[in-house]
């Protein structure tokens, strides 16, 4: 009976891991394609998927995390409807905090797993994309409040401008995270240059850490398999 329960829980976690990957892929790569006239609606839908699936992927769901997810969900929709600047800033802060918790939860899951499974691979992908989304949110706030902090940024007002800023921030955030650096958008102020450096370094550290974890687990699995073969 216990084995059946564990098997059901494992399948459920894999399902929510898959939903989380789809949600972050949607936020990172699909949302910028939507028409600017749609405003923040696609992002609110995408973040809602991330909130729900992020909580469900956690094996240990503490009440404070559930409260934070609920607060982030409510604030995301209220700020999108009212479109008040200070509500948007609070929403971005709550989103970033919740996403950081998810990333650390995913890294912990990868570190404690004994073997490399589908969950570990999906966790590594989700964590990297969430890191890019966090930085893109920061960049979007900067663009909204200080449009001249970056070069070649569209300046405007209203929902359409906000959608364009979001598209630009996602593009710049992920390009910088991957250290690709096309150079079409350039940080012009000291604090945006420092942020670009932080994005680049943290992106490389994340990749190096995850690769180290995965290689270590593969090596441990091979060693255990070899030891079992040589000592029947």
Site of tokens 């949600």: 23
User: 166 with 43: CB under 8 angstroms?
Assistant: yes
pLDDT(162) > 70? no
Buried/exposed code over 25-37 (b: 16+ C-beta within 10 A; e: otherwise): ebbbeebbeeebe
Give the CATH number of the domain where residue 89 resides: 1.10.287.70
Q: Cβ contacts of residue 117 below 8 Å, gap of 6+?
A: none
In terms of C-beta distances under 8 Å and separation of at least 24 residues, what long-range contacts does 218-222 make, across chains too? Answer: 218/116, 220/114, 221/115, 221/116
Say how far apart CA 77 and CA 100 lie, in whole Å.
20
The three-state secondary structure class of 187 is strand
Find, among 123, 130, 122, the residue nearest to 99 by Cα.
130
Q: Exposed (0-12), middle (13-18) or buried (19+): which is 127, by Cβ within 10 Å?
A: buried
Find, among 54, 47, 16, the residue nearest to 31 by Cα.
47
pLDDT tier for residue 140 given thresholds of 50, 70 and 90: confident
pLDDT tens readout for residues 22-64: 999 999 999 888 877 777 788 889 999 999 998 888 877 678 8
Is the torsion defined by CA of 97, 208, 180, 122 positive or negative?
negative
Say how far apart CA 104 and CA 120 lie, in whole Å.
13
Distances (CA, A) of 115 to 21, 36, 129, 225, 229: 20, 44, 22, 12, 18
The three-state secondary structure class of 232 is coil
pLDDT tens readout for residues 170-219: 999 999 999 888 888 999 999 999 999 999 999 999 999 888 888 877 77
Domain containing 215 equals 2-230
Phi, psi (5° rounding) for residue 221? -65, -45
- Structural domain total, the chain: 1
Instruction: Provide the pLDDT for residue 232.
Output: 55
pLDDT tens readout for residues 57-104: 887 767 888 888 899 999 988 887 887 778 888 888 999 999 999 998
Instruction: Provide the pLDDT for residue 231.
Output: 57
User: 173 with 132: CB under 8 angstroms?
Assistant: yes
pTM of the model: 0.84
């Amino acid at each position: 009976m216990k084995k059946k329960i564990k098997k059901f829980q494992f399948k459920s976690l894999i399902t929510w891991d898959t939903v989380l990957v789809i949600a972050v892929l949607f936020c990172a790569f699909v949302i910028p394609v939507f028409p600017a006239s749609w405003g923040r609606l696609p992002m609110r839908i995408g973040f809602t998927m991330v909130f729900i699936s992020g909580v469900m992927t956690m094996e240990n769901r503490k009440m404070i995390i559930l409260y934070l997810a609920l607060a982030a969900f409510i604030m995301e929709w209220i700020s999108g409807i009212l479109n008040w600047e200070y509500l948007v800033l609070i929403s971005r802060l709550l989103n970033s905090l919740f996403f950081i918790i998810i990333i650390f939860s995913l890294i912990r899951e990868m570190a404690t797993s004994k073997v490399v499974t589908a969950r570990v691979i999906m966790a590594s992908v989700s964590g990297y994309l969430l890191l890019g989304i966090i930085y893109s949110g920061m960049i979007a706030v900067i663009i909204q409040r200080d449009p001249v902090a970056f070069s070649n940024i569209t300046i405007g007002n209203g929902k359409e401008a906000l959608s364009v800023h979001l598209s630009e921030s996602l593009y710049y955030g992920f390009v910088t995270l991957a250290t690709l650096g096309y150079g079409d958008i350039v940080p012009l102020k000291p604090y945006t240059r420092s942020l670009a450096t932080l994005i680049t370094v943290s992106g490389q550290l994340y990749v190096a850490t995850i690769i180290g974890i995965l290689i270590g687990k593969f090596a441990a699995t091979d060693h255990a398999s070899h030891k079992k073969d040589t000592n029947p």
